[in-house]
Structure 1
Amino acid sequence: MSSRKEKPAHSLIAGSLAGAIEAFVTYPTEFVKTRSQFGGQRESPISIIRTTVREKGITGLYSGCSALVIGNSIKAGVRFVTYDHFKSLLADKEGKVSPPRSLLAGLGAGMTEAIIAVTPSETIKTKLIDDAKRPNPQYRGLVHGTISIVKQEGILGIYRGLFPVMMRQGANSAVRFTTYTTLKQFIQSTARPGQSLPTGITFGIGAIAGLVTVYVTQPLDVIKTRMQSLTAKQQYKNSFHCAYRILTEEGVLRFWTGTTPRLARLIMSGGIVFTVYENVIRLIGTGSSEGDK
């Protein structure tokens, strides 16, 4: 894996564009996943889609979408810039970054994006989705919802669930980047030495990275969703208490609730993000996709 460091501005532009496109295209799966992870009666993904479309129309599947698109754009930009920075610091004398070091770089990138972008955007998104299922929603879109949450809970209200988000994002980025870069390096060294990978192969590697990420990090995602729900303050003392209650009251399999829609999203997400990122990097003039994003 090359240690070549892309220009931060290029990484930021390419990453932000990739994140925004990915978030919009895959949002319905994120909506269904989040709804399925709330407490109470379990609903299948199909049931959630049918009920939402019947009561709210197709646009109901995009409740909270603006928060995620904006947050995902910032998140992806921050992720690629910080990952590229950490990767260059951890490269050896020959310019190679081993899988363990790639894992560490991804962990650092994930933690950074969780603090800067992911926690606020996902807290707002989760509360908007939770509110939208009520007969009389109190939030009238992203701006009104954000202002209302801050008025009711203070600025810390949009940072609820910071710890599980940091754990999830750190694990997400560590697993995703390591899987992607390891597979990419293997293919380039065996089948296409010294050549850029075609878009189809890049998409496929990104999709595999998304699949692996889902199953490894799903429990953290469930805890994150519960901690960001409207009733979290009344139900859970902290993330560990939330995990304990889920385990003892609902069973260990509850930690993998929402796997199917999240799997659909991250497979598409991995393919879209890495494909868009590497093509934009080439387009804006770096002339190389060797950054192994």
Structure 2
Amino acid sequence: MSASSDSQEPLTSRLTATIKSTADSLASTVKPAESELARWRRTFDRFATEEVEGKKYLTPSQFVDAIAPTDEGFSKIKREQYTNLFRVADSSRRGLVSFEDFVVFETLLKRPDADYQLAFQVFDVDASGSIDYDEFKAVLSANTAASGIPFDFDCDWMKLYVGKRGDRHVLGYHEFTQLIKGYQGERLRQAFHHFDSDGDGYINPEEFQRILVEIAGHKLSDSVLERLPTLCTMNPGRKISYSEVIAFHNIIREMDAVERIIEHAVRRSKDGRIDVSDFLNEAAGSMRYGMFTPMEANIIWHFASRGNVGASQRLALADFQSLLDAKWQPPEAAALTETTVSGGFLQEMAISTYNFVQGGIAGGIGAYVVYPIDLVKTRLQNQRSTVVGEVLYRNAADCVRKVYANEGGVRAFYRGVMPQLVGVAPEKAIKLTINDLVRKRGTDPETGRISLPVEILAGGLAGGCQVAVTNPLEITKIRLQMAGEITRAEGGGAVPRGAVHIIRQLGLIGLYKGATACFARDIPFSMIYFTSYAHLKKDVFHEGRRGKVLSFGELLTAAGIAGMPAAYLTTPADVVKTRLQTQARAGQTVYKGVSDGIRKILQEEGVKALYKGGLARARNALRILLDCSSRFGMVDSVAAAKGVSSLPKSLRT
């Protein structure tokens, strides 16, 4: 039961982290539509190649392949260390794991106390259901010998659990869990005493580093491990006291609470930064009984600020990541990793091209799906309720029925769709790129925060810039959508003309007729949409918190919720734009511009007319939903492939 030669972490700490990483890895493969037994059978059959009497078994290496995460950097646990769990799964001690053994092991991992259960079985060498002193000593001795820091198994602390020599009793499961929970504290005390040879209550920085690497090296990033000796700079003696050692160990032990308190305090902060007093206030308000001491808070600030100690120093969430995340890398190392993975300029170009194509496909699908709704919306918006004669369409359903019956069936609903499909990719590329660029420039690189005015500005600029592509597409599309109605109104003798004829007829200047109305629609739409979308992801679905990456369904929902009010509220500008860009027929009011159009519509038709097609535009938000959720979901995947997930959690969004 020896540890791997390159490992110095005690078995108890390492085993807990190994079990948690195994459980997380296996849980990540869960597919709700499949039964657990079927999933376990598939995993077993994939790796088991050893056959004995026609039955498959997993060898130790195959078992590790089946349960270990593919990333060896997970919690700094090496793949070789998973062999400790093989000894648990191999209940018959034959060096092979059957499918039945694998099922028992997987079932055990699902228990809430799985880490303690598996640890108990590792220490229970003779499988007697209890652990005696000799078993506990043998297993731990084999795994701590490499560190060079002795542990006295005959200490008073050990006697409290198993009794004194000659009168020792065995430990059941529940007693064992309490012993394991307190073991690291005793290990820390003995290690400090070992190095404090003169008994003055201080040890050298290098000795402190050895102790922490031995006890909790897998819980700290390389950056923090390298800077452990700098803790001595917090006092004038250039040595480290037992109080400081205990304080740092308490921080590690309560790292989840530390992270939660810091995140809550940062969210409440106006500028995204906090000082020591903010941390202590948040801790006092959120913890019923436990509290962090001023020394512990100062140590957190010492390592988060790279040694620039100061209780008044205000730090952002990104500053704490080197302490909170064991896999944290310095920004320059993370950038180097990203550059190495990305493969240089050509691959960056390939990724950009992929982004453009993916966005175009997503936009094209959205445009095609909702195009019939858009056609109905255009017909209703252009219908004047004060013109002489009967109103052609009573409502949307009546419009659908008449278009289908009188203009050629289903094909009539897709008249003018090709220009829309051709222009959707550059339109989305412009809008999304401008929004991303402005948001990036306006985001604080340390806190990852962006002010609401900058968010609104980014959306507005994105909407304004897209008009260069949107307006020619819109006027061409609208005239094609209205062609069937005009032909029918004129007696059906004329054949509807195509997009090329309309473009030639309008000319370059004519293609931008109604551009002011297009600006009046697209700028506020993008202001509302992009701002709402960003806040829904962050505040409702909690993107980025504890490294959370939103699912496609969550992105889809956020996009839909943001798009519908944005579409409906900008309907008046869309109504005016539609009427400005449509060929006016005899008897219809002519509008000189946006303000003139709104004034005349209000006078002649009332407020209700300004919201014609509003519900159709809200439904049309499905197109925006597909565009952006697909695009952003794809970007997340590309970013993960490029190694962006190694960046601090606060910067992943």
TM range (shorter): 0.7 to 0.9
1:61 aligned to 2:413?
yes
Instruction: Give the CA deviation at 1:172.
Output: 1.2
Look up the match of 2:559.
206
Structure 2: 5+ residue stretches without partners: 1-271, 273-347, 385-390, 646-650
Q: Is the 8 A contact 1:160 1:227 kept in 2?
A: yes
Instruction: Give the CA deviation at 1:66.
Output: 1.2
1:131 to 459, 470, 483: 483
Look up the match of 1:178.
531
Instruction: Give the CA deviation at 1:140.
Output: 3.1
Matches of 2:412 and 2:427 in 1, distance apart? 24
Instruction: Give the CA deviation at 1:132.
Output: 1.9
Q: Is the 8 A contact 1:199 1:275 kept in 2?
A: yes
Look up the match of 1:250.
605
Q: Is the 8 A contact 1:10 1:281 kept in 2?
A: no
Look up the match of 2:577.
224
Matches of 2:515 and 2:398 in 1, distance apart? 30
2:434 to 82, 94, 97: 82
Report the TM-score when normalising by structure 2: 0.41
Q: Is the 8 A contact 1:14 1:281 kept in 2?
A: no
Structure 1 pair 28/291, CA: closer, same or farther in 2 (3 Å)?
Answer: farther
What is the letter of the counterpart of residue 279 of structure 1?
G
Return 232-241 or 63-72, whichever deviates more: 232-241
Q: Is the 8 A contact 1:12 1:80 kept in 2?
A: no
Relative contact order, higher structure (CA 8 A, sep 6+): 1
Report matched runs for 1:90-129 at 5 Å: 90-93=442-445, 94-115=447-468, 117-129=469-481
Instruction: Give the CA deviation at 1:74.
Output: 1.8
Deviations 1:61-82 (A, max 9, x none): 1111112222222211111111
Q: Is the 8 A contact 2:517 2:574 kept in 1?
A: yes
Matches of 2:561 and 2:510 in 1, distance apart? 35
C-alpha RMSD of the superposition: 2.6
Matches of 1:213 and 1:248 in 2, distance apart? 26
Q: Is the 8 A contact 1:78 1:109 kept in 2?
A: yes
Instruction: Give the CA deviation at 1:25.
Output: 1.3
Aligned to 1:197, the other structure's residue is in SS state coil
1:272 aligned to 2:626?
yes
Instruction: Give the CA deviation at 1:159.
Output: 0.8
Q: Is the 8 A contact 2:459 2:528 kept in 1?
A: yes
What is the letter of the counterpart of residue 176 of structure 1?
Y
Return 73-82 or 228-237, whichever deviates more: 228-237
1:30 to 352, 374, 378: 374
1:146 to 503, 510, 534: 503
Aligned to 1:159, the other structure's residue is in SS state coil
Instruction: Give the CA deviation at 1:270.
Output: 3.3
Q: Is the 8 A contact 2:565 2:618 kept in 1?
A: no
1:261 aligned to 2:616?
yes
2:398 to 47, 63, 76: 47
Structure 1: 5+ residue stretches without partners: none
Instruction: Give the CA deviation at 1:8.
Output: 5.8
What is the letter of the counterpart of residue 52 of structure 1?
V
Q: Is the 8 A contact 2:371 2:417 kept in 1?
A: yes
Aligned to 2:542, the other structure's residue is in SS state helix
Instruction: Give the CA deviation at 1:142.
Output: 2.4
Higher helix share: 1
Q: Is the 8 A contact 1:19 1:77 kept in 2?
A: no
Identity of aligned residues (%): 27
Look up the match of 1:21.
365
Larger radius of gyration: 2
Report the TM-score when normalising by structure 1: 0.87
Matches of 1:15 and 1:169 in 2, distance apart? 19
Query: How many aligned residue pairs are there?
Result: 282
Q: Is the 8 A contact 2:359 2:428 kept in 1?
A: yes
Instruction: Give the CA deviation at 1:279.
Output: 2.9
Instruction: Give the CA deviation at 1:14.
Output: 3.6
